[in-house]
Structure 1
Amino acid sequence: MSQHWITDRMHKIDASGIRKVFDLAANMTNPVNLSIGQPHFDTPEPIKQALKDAVDSGKNAYSQSQGIKPLLAKIQGEIDEAYGHTDRQAFVTSGTSGGLMLALSTLVGPDDEVIVFDPWFVMYKHLTSLVGGKIVEVSTYPDFRLDVNRVADALTDRTKVILCNSPCNPTGHVASVEEMQALAELARDRDVALISDEIYRSFCYDGDFVSPAKWNDQTIVIDGFSKSHSMTGHRLGYCHGPKHIIEQMIKLQQFTFVCAPHPIQWAGVAAWDTDISHFVEEYRGKRDFVRDSLSENFEIHGGDGAFYLFVKAPWGTGTEFVQEAIRNNLLIIPGNVFSSQDTHFRISYAADDEVLHRGVDILNRIAKR
């Protein structure tokens, strides 16, 4: 019938990983949910009010594709101060996912290679497939650090992009100055595009965030408001990089997303000036509690930022351990959703403290099975 209408590229996109988890969870009653990759707090009130005001004042039509001037001025001003690159330009995207889609579509063609670090954010693999590219995995096991020698060994004449994510989903690893500088300089010296996904940069608990753009002025940075300001449903991101790349991305945005949602951009102006440091401190405490509570029964690396722990299963595969957790009414994600290995599972500690207490109790109990 109409099955032959579907293009081959869609068959390279496998949505089965997380679907299997939620199929298993379908019959759970009031589960202890440590699976959700978004903040557990609501969007701060000044941001919601700015959105309402924008809608009420008629800011509901298209904006310029690159974004509204007040928001662009705030973003551009900060990146100019941070990097001092004469050629670095910013624009507003429809979420960080939109920014990633535009960047990969601009840089990657059929059979080009994109280096990602295993474990990776699930979208990287599928977006690369969608634009016709091929993922090349560089392992970060067992401690999730970025080994530039492994990256150098993975480079070929087909390598177009190195895609890094720090703080990392799913591991919570925050790359050190040494790791980032080495990666930035390798990409620069080998003339490979470097995309830095910095959506979790506000959530660093044990040291300062550092971007590879500090050492490589050709770095394309993807960022946004979803995680830092709990605006996941608002779809507001931004990107900055060398002007000749950004111009191509804006051109593509004109014919795809058109623009980020206009009234949401005015909410972004308010978000830029909204202090979220108390949320960061709250999540630092949650990280400390979960990590400390599990340390006796589980091997844990990473966890320096974002709001995830990527924990090694104490017995069986990651999938088998998650199945047992689900049987005990705990919802977590098996590591093979994010990785070529099936040895770990991901916890999100973006949850109420009572839920975290219940979750660690279940995990410690089933670890001793």
Structure 2
Amino acid sequence: MHPWIADRTTSFDSSGIRKVFDLAAKLKDPINLSIGQPDFDVPEVIQDATVDAIRSGKNAYSPTQGIAPLRERLLAEVRAKYPGQDRDVFISSGTSGGLVLSMLSMINPGDEVIFLDPYFVMYPALVRLCGGVPVKVNSYPDFRLDPAKIEAAITPKTKMILVNSPANPTGVTATEDDLRDVADLAAKHNVALLSDEIYSRFYYDGDFASPASHNPDTIVIDGFSKSHAMTGWRVGYVHGPPEIISTMLKIQQYSFVCSPQPAQWGALRAMEVSLDGHIDDYRRKRDFMVQQLSPHFELTSPGGAFYLFPKAPAGETGSAFVERAIQDGVLIIPGNIFSDQDSHFRISFAADDETLRRGAERLIKLAGDNSCSIC
């Protein structure tokens, strides 16, 4: 290792997802079921609002906490959703920026952070970057948020419980009862509760639930990247106890500075855009993929997001199956990128219908099943 490189960078590897994306660039016309972002474009009214902001000179730094109209709109929404709670909000540089600032604000070296396995790839890396200790709670085979397992993982060194519902990579949604119990656990043990809610609008069965409804000290991270296809725009937001938010802002001043101002004006317009049509479309895509694949793969039907996390065929690791799939022109993500286990793989159904049909057909054939109904 080069002598100038900091020791902290050796505690985690580069994202395996990026490696798959690099591979995708080398394939000719792959069936791409790997990308974790919507397949629709940013709605034109949002684009127009952003262009208007650029052309009217709103190109400088914004206040670190974000432009006032967006913050005020978000704060009104948060206060209506959580009446009586003392919560503040600021605009982060994407939800990833919110995660970074959360960890830097609350995690000391040696602190333990509990989250489910499988997990979003960034979680263990960020915990280690801060000198913390990732504590992964096995949620196989159904990927449920089990309060009993969470409680069993709590030690005197536990500083934070991190929940993600709907979850990446499984798409599984936690029940309100389980979220309530975990919220109560965090309060009982005086542990920070961080809720990653970036997929909150991609919720297909029932109503979205947040642990913040049951624990007013919950720190919530959300944003516009997934819901409005604004992944490259870097506009997220965080709300929670004012002292925590103030600390995160202090760090943002010396790191991200602010979210891009023109994109914030686009996000303000995005709050007026209905997503119902897109959500209905993704529910239909979910139903199609579950219907096609469930007879051939062991999988849990996702209640949200746009992912499936099937188990590889018997006798085969997830990474070995993914390698065969990629050789056959189907881009999927090996499950061991998101997990200590190498038994599953991730599919994104954020793709057009024909791509999903072709992808399902190829995967079923790779599973060795010749009874495919769409082949």
In 2 relative to 1, CA 166–58 (structure 1 residues): closer, same or farther, beyond 3 Å?
A: same
Report the 3-state secondary structure (helix = DSSP H, G, I; strand = E; otherwise coil) of the residue aligned with 2:171: coil
Contact 2:85 2:216 in 1 (8 A): no
Report the 3-state secondary structure (helix = DSSP H, G, I; strand = E; otherwise coil) of the residue aligned with 1:312: coil
Letter in 2 for 1:177: E
Aligned to 2:357: 357
Aligned to 1:92: 91
For the residues of structure 2 that align with 1:222 and 1:16, how far apart are their CA atoms?
21
For the residues of structure 1 that align with 2:243 and 2:365, how far apart are their CA atoms?
55
Q: How far did 1:17 drift? A: 2.8
Aligned to 2:367: 367
For the residues of structure 1 that align with 2:156 and 2:15, how far apart are their CA atoms?
32
Report the 3-state secondary structure (helix = DSSP H, G, I; strand = E; otherwise coil) of the residue aligned with 1:164: strand
Report the 3-state secondary structure (helix = DSSP H, G, I; strand = E; otherwise coil) of the residue aligned with 2:283: helix
Map 1:133-144; keep pairs closer than 5 Å.
133-144=132-143
Q: How far did 1:302 drift? A: 4.1
For the residues of structure 1 that align with 2:30 and 2:109, how far apart are their CA atoms?
43
Report the 3-state secondary structure (helix = DSSP H, G, I; strand = E; otherwise coil) of the residue aligned with 1:233: coil
Q: How far did 1:77 drift? A: 0.4
Letter in 2 for 1:262: Q
Q: How far did 1:233 drift? A: 0.3
Map 1:175-214; keep pairs closer than 5 Å.
175-214=174-213
For the residues of structure 1 that align with 2:221 and 2:235, how far apart are their CA atoms?
11
Report the 3-state secondary structure (helix = DSSP H, G, I; strand = E; otherwise coil) of the residue aligned with 1:234: coil
Map 1:28-107; keep pairs closer than 5 Å.
28-107=27-106
For the residues of structure 2 that align with 1:25 and 1:42, how far apart are their CA atoms?
20
Aligned to 1:233: 232
User: Which stretch shows the higher mean deviation, 112-121 or 7-16?
Assistant: 7-16
Q: How far did 1:27 drift? A: 4.3
Using structure 1 for the length normalisation, give the TM-score.
0.97
Report the 3-state secondary structure (helix = DSSP H, G, I; strand = E; otherwise coil) of the residue aligned with 2:309: strand
Report the 3-state secondary structure (helix = DSSP H, G, I; strand = E; otherwise coil) of the residue aligned with 1:149: helix
Q: RMSD of the alignment, in Å?
A: 1.2
CA deviation string 1:6-60 (max 9, x = no partner): 0111011211633554565564221100000000000001100000000000001
Q: How far did 1:172 drift? A: 0.3
For the residues of structure 2 that align with 1:85 and 1:225, how far apart are their CA atoms?
26
For the residues of structure 1 that align with 2:68 and 2:353, how far apart are their CA atoms?
40
Contact 1:85 1:217 in 2 (8 A): no
Aligned to 1:128: 127
Which 5+ residue runs of structure 1 have no aligned equivalent? none
Contact 2:15 2:121 in 1 (8 A): no
Contact 1:143 1:302 in 2 (8 A): no
For the residues of structure 2 that align with 1:324 and 1:253, how far apart are their CA atoms?
43
CA deviation string 1:233-290 (max 9, x = no partner): 0000000000111110111111111111111111111001111110000000000001
Report the 3-state secondary structure (helix = DSSP H, G, I; strand = E; otherwise coil) of the residue aligned with 2:159: strand
For the residues of structure 1 that align with 2:206 and 2:310, how far apart are their CA atoms?
21
For the residues of structure 1 that align with 2:15 and 2:282, how far apart are their CA atoms?
30
Contact 1:335 1:341 in 2 (8 A): yes
Q: How far did 1:134 drift? A: 1.0
Contact 2:307 2:347 in 1 (8 A): yes
Aligned to 2:372: none
Q: How far did 1:179 drift? A: 1.0
Q: How far did 1:119 drift? A: 0.3
Of all paired residues, the percent bearing the same amino acid is 54
For the residues of structure 2 that align with 1:3 and 1:190, how far apart are their CA atoms?
42
Contact 1:115 1:138 in 2 (8 A): yes
- Give the number of aligned pairs: 368
For the residues of structure 1 that align with 2:64 and 2:357, how far apart are their CA atoms?
45
